[in-house]
Structure 1
Amino acid sequence: MPTFEIGERDFLLDGRPFQVISGALHYFRVHPDQWAERIRAARLMGLNTIETYVAWNFHAPEPDQFDLGGRRDLGRFLDLVAAEGLHAIVRPGPYICAEWDGGGLPAWLFAADPAGGTAGPAGGSAGGATGVRRHDPAFLDAIGTYYARLLPVVAARQVTRGGPVLMVQVENEYGAYPGVPDDERVAYLRELVRRTREQGIDVPLFTSDQADDEHLSRGGLPELHKTANFGSRSPERLTTLRRHQPTGPLMCMEFWDGWFDSWGQVHHVTAPETTAQDLDDLLAAGASVNLYMFHGGTNLGLTSGANDKGTYLPITTSYDYDAPLSEHGAPTAKFHALRAVIAKHAPVPDELPGDPAPAPVVDVELGRRAALADVVHLLAPDVVASSDGAPTMDALRQWSGFALCSTTVRADDGVLVVDEVRDRAYVALDGDPVGVLDRTTHVNVLPLPRRAGTLTFLVEDRGRVNYGPRIGEPKGLVGPVRTATRLLTDWEAAPLHLTAAPRLLGDVAWTAADPEAPVAGPSFHRGTFDSVAGADHFLRLDGWTRGLVWVNGELLGRYSAEGPTGTLYVPGPLVRAERNELVVLELTGAAAPRARCVPAPDLGPTES
């Protein structure tokens, strides 16, 4: 029977020392038809292991749902890892961060009534949950259900059963999570260990924390192997880790070889030669490593998270991460630099992955239009009335995306003040634009026209916070909404079912649009194009402002003129030879209803 153990100095694979040289590749950020080629590229760079998080909310959009098919087929992904001759590390959370919506924690965990009848963990003053990531019975019961559905998939593929899985993580960077007493931390982690083992996981368990004394001392247990996360000064960081893991192998579980991007910021890059030197120092010390990321991929749909350390910064659709393998699967200069380092310490195949051909160039005219106001009945059939304040998106059970809220104003109301908007709201009076409320720029006041009418808020959740104490906060219009003269109390609200918008709109909702004329949002625009079936495409929307894009019914994600990203990646498996459908929801306005597919990605300007 194969074995993987933690020895006095080394990891031991079948009793022999084994240096883990791993790379992060998240199955949920890659089209499943591309999993095999991405895994193969990892082997060709010299990696012997693939690591992946598991995003709980990706599999469980509602408490009574759990999906392990298609894009969510973790078992198939792990089988492909094994077929390539590689090992695997699985990090199931329950919290993962990963710049993913809510850090992977389902938003329904934080609702007052998450399962339609049983109260969940309570909300904190900042919107975060006091019971989540703690020894809270409701949270632990939810984890127990999650583990019972997920972990048998992992257990069946452990190395001890002839599969690829070497190790499984318990929690994630728990030492950085504030406000939990040490005794409760210990009780919580031990309960996670118990529930993990209960599902048949018998390979080594570990924790990972940032490489400083405070986090490492708070984030683990004496009986669990500690690993550290860092991206520079490897000898110093390993010394810190050794203080907290006095025996056994040292491992950097997240070797940050790049960084993520946020809307309105620059595109982050790191020098390949600097990263290569830090990796060389780490491997020369005999430590094991997991490159975070080997291949970043894409935050498809509405899955990107956000950070808020005083300023709310949502994550871009691209999760290229300046990783060795680019978002579209091309080996980069960093790929070759790190491969050369790995070759000094371990066998590396002679073969190299090829460079992708330039993507097809296609001009797309979006000649059909549908104003959101004209089709809202198709997208928001479930209207809720509230005699109190505006319902939050969570109260509407809208865990991501958009909601529509409306109330009436009088001619003497004068000004609109929203206590807090999470995260953006497009405000109109009888269909005429009034302005935009925005969390990032701290705009929560707008002047109102001096006339009575229906005031409508198109509210956008731009990504749930994935790190820190604001995890779990509700979305929408939060707190009182008032004017110069009164509190606004009588509301109607509805969630917008936008993920499936092209299907819901059908063929009857569209009217012809002038291909040369500017367009006003919020409105949908549709066109078709022929191209090369199966080829990756890079979509530019120059002249558009912000919104969502679908190709052949699949929601690619958000775009925004604020950058840095200048193109959206269209995975080749989504593209057919004829009559590809492109649908754009423009929220503000565009110079003309035209788009263009270009030969190469544009991830935006970098720091000079």
Structure 2
Amino acid sequence: MATFTTAGSDFLLNGQPIQIISGAIHYFRVIPQQWRDRLLKLKACGFNAVETYVAWNVHEPKEGQFRFDGGADLVKFIETAAELELHVIVRPSPYICAEWEFGGLPSWLLKDRNMKLRCYYQPFLDKVDAYFDALLPRLKPLLCTNGGPIIAMQIENEYGSFGNDKQYLNYIRQGMIDRGMDVLLFTSDGPEDHMLQGGMVDGVLATVNFGSRPEEAFAKLKEYQPNGPVMCMEYWNGWFDHWSEEHHVRGWDDVADVLDRILRAGASVNFYMFFGGTNFGFYNGANFFDKHEPTITSYDYNALLTEWGDLTDKYHAMQEIIGKYAKLPDIPLPAPSPKGNYGRIAMTERAALFDSLDRLSTPVHRAHTETMEALDQDYGFILYSTQLSGPRPLSKLTLQEVRDRALVFVDGVYRGVIERNSHDLLLEPKAHDIAFEVPEGGVRLDILVENMGRINYGWKMDDPKGITEGVRFERQFLYDWTIRSLPMEDLTGLVFEPHSSDRAAEAEAPGGPAFHRATFRVDEPMDTFVQMEGWTKGVVYVNGFNLGRYWEVGPQKALYLPGPLLRQGENEIVVFELHGTKDAAVTLQDFPDLG
């Protein structure tokens, strides 16, 4: 049993002053077989604590259905940290941001179109209470007050960037206390007046998040909290990438200088991130400031460890700075994981999406377009189909509030893409709009919509997916829809046909969205990277595991494939390609390509 408290400007562990030097590792962004490796490298660098968010949508994927096993085994992750004698900071607030899908909130909250998020709204609080009832009893034995490694917990995350509902914040605080969370509780916010005013809670330690100018940040915190210890709960030492942006890099020298100033001031720090990891599956989030910007699959973050767990120059530079203020442990560093170059793998089989619909989904019929959430769907794709009578002159097709990217087919022929960011609701078609004539017999209209990630930060978080308002042809709304949810979680029922031997012809006429499959042999499973050069946009699965999305717009050109996901012997790779490929093959190479 231990105590972690504050006195004056100090943190006290069992009554003795301690400077917390922590690093963020999100258990949900790395496969469990690699948890110990990443934590060991954290300790060897001189860190004395690890911090993790807790992603609600990982643990309650469907309302009332909780999971805490496999990659969601939070207890195992914390126990692994304890075995390495690391302190643990846990952030189990309902909302986490983290560039994670919907900021960690479960998408099913949006089925209730009256739902109000992150405020004192009883239906939302009821959902949080049910989640806390499942989560917090699992953490209670791991608290330092019960002999475990958890020294502190966060009640909400950067709340002052979102709202100012103190009744809500106090409700979350009291909910943790009532469930036995008797460790130090804290908030974290940006070092600005409105953020601290909105996010601080009486009786709860306030911390600040920043990437530079620590003296200014701590001075602002001291204005609001003159008597507590100062801590940077998120020291942003790198940054994340959106699709079609440049890959972000921040030099180690600048990062080391700021760290030196933080520690010299006697402050505590948590690196965001120490190790970034990967947005596997459909769990990438998105930002919205002037447009919807989905985060890429890699969450490398230009952190101290690479996405694949190797040490960087930044790692060694931080270790040197930490060594000025704390005794470095005598731990031999693990060697970099071996990387596999398994070469070019030609896709040998193909299954067209439109030929596979009955194996992937059950259709429902609705008068109007429904959102994914209304149909109890979380992620993936959704297909809307209807008949349009004719004859009609050339007119524009309008999707009102499409979330986020739609492929349009008329009588099975691909007509183009409608994207959330560039689609306007005016009647007159512009060059990038989709317009067509309808012959006397009418046409079939199919619209395949991709959910590219719910917004994880800011004022636009109410972000249901699909076609959220309706479809118009010219000014007329279209009704009588057949809708298919395509979460793409289980592809085992697909029936593949041999790929055409005429590769050139197939590349010229890909025939719409399709699954491409191949098997390949591995003698020794190692980390590798799936190079997607020549493909347009889609998703990659290896041995049934969803590695995440690829997109030719970059910056990321290759997906990280952890070695433990491979099997000695035969392996399967499936690529779901939306548009077509110049060459139906991938390369498993031994180096990354983050742009």
**Does the pair score TM above 0.5?**
yes
Deviations 1:527-578 (A, max 9, x none): 0111243310101011000001000011111000010001100011101122
Preserved CA contact (<8 Å) 1:540 1:598: yes
Letter in 1 for 2:413: D
Partner of 1:20: 20
Task: Specify the code of the residue in structure 2 equivalent to 1:87.
Answer: H
**Is 1:378 the counterpart of 2:359 in the alignment?**
yes
Name the CA distance, whole Å, in 2 between partners of 1:250 and 1:164: 21
Deviations 1:53-84 (A, max 9, x none): 00101111111210001110000000000001
| 1:201-260 deviation per Cα after TM superposition (whole angstroms, max 9, x unaligned) | 100100000111210121011210000000101111111111122112100000000001
Which of the numbers 169, 192, 197 marks the counterpart of 2:177? 197
**Aligned-partner residue type, residue 350 of structure 2:** R
Q: Kindly indicate whether the alpha-carbon contact (under 8 Å) linking 1:369 and 1:526 is maintained by their aligned counterparts in 2.
A: yes
Q: For residues 409-456 of structure 1, what are the alpha-carbon distances to aligned partners after superposition, in whole Å with 9 as ceiling and x for unaligned?
A: 234163211122100011101211011111133467411243321100
Looking at structure 2, the residues matched to 276 and 588 of structure 1 have their Cα atoms a distance apart, in angstroms, of 44
2:247 pairs with 1:301: no
What secondary structure is seen at the aligned counterpart in 2 of 1:591?
coil
CA contact (8 A) 2:537 2:552 kept: yes
**d(CA) in 2 for partners of 1:291, 1:480:** 44
2:473 to 472, 480, 483: 483
Contact between 1:51 and 1:88, CA under 8 Å: does it hold in 2?
Answer: yes
| Contact 1:375 1:509 (8 Å CA) reproduced | no
Residue matched to 1:448:
436
Q: Give the TM-score taking structure 1 as reference length.
A: 0.93
Residue 514 (structure 1) aligned with residue 495 (structure 2): no
Structure 1 unmatched runs, 5+? 113-121, 124-128
Equivalent in 549, 552, 561 of residue 558 of structure 1 = 549
Query: Which residue does the alignment assign to 2:538?
Result: 547
8 Å CA contact 1:428, 1:457 repeated in 2? yes
The answer to whether the 8 Å contact 1:29/1:297 transfers is yes
The correspondence for 1:321, drawn from 278, 297, 301, is: 301
After the TM superposition, which of the residue ranges 429-438 and 251-260 deviates more from structure 2? 429-438
1:497 deviates by 3.5
Contact 1:259 1:269 in 2 (8 A): yes
Deviations 1:174-207 (A, max 9, x none): 00104xxx5xx11111111111011111001000
Q: What is the distance in 2 between the residues matched to 1:447 and 1:602?
A: 38
1:28–1:438: structure 2 CA closer, same or farther, 3 Å change rule? same
**Which residue matches 2:403?**
422
Query: Is 2:459 the partner of 1:459?
Result: no
Distance change in 2, residues 1:461/1:238 (3 Å): same
Shift of 1:32: 0.4
Counterpart of 2:86? 86
Residues 140-185 of structure 1: per-residue CA shift (max 9 Å, x gap): 111111001001121110111111100000010000104xxx5xx1
Tell which deviates more after alignment, 208-217 or 449-458.
Answer: 449-458
Structure 1 match to 2:369: 390
Residue 571 (structure 1) aligned to one of 555, 562, 568: 562
Correspondence 1:174-213 to 2 at 5 A: 174-178=159-163, 182=164, 185-213=165-193
Q: Write the distance in 2 (CA, Å) between the matches of 1:345 and 1:196.
A: 34
Report the residue type matching 2:464 in the other structure: P
Partner in structure 1 of residue 36 of structure 2:
36
Structure 2 SS opposite 1:530: strand
Shift of 1:515: 7.2
AA aligned to 2:451 is D
Distance 1:533 1:151, change over 3 A: farther
The equivalent position to 2:460 in structure 1, one of 470, 473, 481, is 470
**TM-superposition CA deviations, 1:355-413 (whole Å, max 9, x none):** 333432321111100100111110112x12112x2112222121211111011123416
1:432 lines up with 2:423 in the alignment: no
Pairing partner for 2:337 from 348, 356, 371 = 356
Deviation (angstroms), 1:473: 2.0
SS of corresponding position for 1:474: coil
Cross-structure match for 1:8: 8
Alignment root-mean-square deviation, CA: 1.4
Shifted more, 311-320 versus 343-352: the winner is 343-352
Q: Which amino acid aligns with 2:484?
A: A
Instruction: Say whether residues 1:497 and 2:476 are aligned partners.
Output: no
Letter in 2 for 1:344: K
Q: Is the 8 A contact 2:280 2:546 kept in 1?
A: yes
1:172–1:208: 8 Å Cα contact kept in structure 2? yes
How far is 1:348 from its partner?
1.3
**Residues 107 and 472 of structure 1 are in contact (CA less than 8 Å); yes or no, is this contact kept in structure 2?**
no
- Tell me if structure 2 keeps the 8 A contact 1:4–1:11: yes
Q: Who is 1:291 aligned against?
A: 271
Q: How many Å separate the matches in 1 of 2:155 and 2:107? A: 21
Question: Structure 2: how far apart are the matches of 1:55 and 1:358?
Answer: 30
Within-5 A mapping of 1:396-415? 396-409=375-388, 410-412=390-392, 414-415=395-396
Unpaired runs of 5+ residues, structure 2, are 426-432
8 A contact 2:347–2:584 mirrored in 1: yes
Instruction: Determine whether 1:365 maps to 2:346.
Output: yes
Residue equivalent to 1:156: 141
- Is the contact between residue 347 and residue 499 of structure 2 (CA under 8 Å) also seen in structure 1? no
Change (3 A) 1:151 1:485: closer
Mean Cα deviation higher: 241-250 or 422-431: 241-250
Segments of 4+ moved more than 6 angstroms: none
Deviation string 1:72-130 (CA, Å, 9 cap, x unpaired) is 00000000000011010000120000000000111111212xxxxxxxxx54xxxxx5x
Query: 1:550 & 1:343 partners in 2: Cα distance?
Result: 42
Q: 2:430: which partner in 1?
A: none
* Match of residue 343 from structure 1: 323
| Correspondence 1:333 to 2:333 | no
Taking the aligned partners of 1:92 and 1:144, their CA distance within structure 2 comes to: 12
Aligned pair count reads 579
Percent of aligned positions that are identical:
43
**Amino acid paired to 1:533:** E
Residue of structure 2 equivalent to 1:118: none
Q: Which amino acid aligns with 2:545?
A: E
Say whether the 8 Å CA contact 2:349–2:496 is kept in structure 1: no
Q: Secondary structure at the match of 1:148?
A: helix
The answer to whether the 8 Å contact 1:366/1:515 transfers is no
Which residue matches 1:116? none
Map Cα deviations across residues 20-72 of structure 1 (whole Å, 9 max, x no partner). 10000000000001001010010011111000000101111111210001110
3-state SS, counterpart of residue 392 of structure 2: coil
Distance 1:252 1:40 in 2: 23
Q: Which residue of 2 aligns with 1:258?
A: 238
Tell me which residue corresponds to 1:595: 586
**AA at the equivalent of 1:104:** G
Match status 1:104 vs 2:104: yes
Q: 1:378 to 1:2 in 2, by over 3 A?
A: same
1:572-595 per-position Cα deviation (integer Å, ceiling 9, x unaligned): 110112211000000011001111
Quote the offset at 1:262 in angstroms: 0.5
> Counterparts of 1:109 and 1:484 in 2: how far apart (Å)?
34
Quick one: distance in 1 between partners of 2:282 and 2:487?
Answer: 12
Residue 472 of structure 1: CA displacement?
Answer: 2.4
Q: Which residue of 1 aligns with 2:155?
A: 170
> Residue 352 of structure 2 contacts residue 514 of structure 2 at CA under 8 Å; is this kept in 1?
yes
Q: TM-score, normalised by structure 2?
A: 0.95
The corresponding residue for 2:132 is 147
Give, in angstroms, the shift of residue 509 of structure 1: 3.5
8 A contact 1:532–1:575 mirrored in 2: no
Q: Which amino acid aligns with 2:79?
A: D
Cα 1:443/1:365, change in 2 over 3 Å: farther
**Structure 1 residue identity aligned to 2:455:** V
Whole-Å Cα distance in 1 between the matches of residues 335 and 424 of structure 2?
48
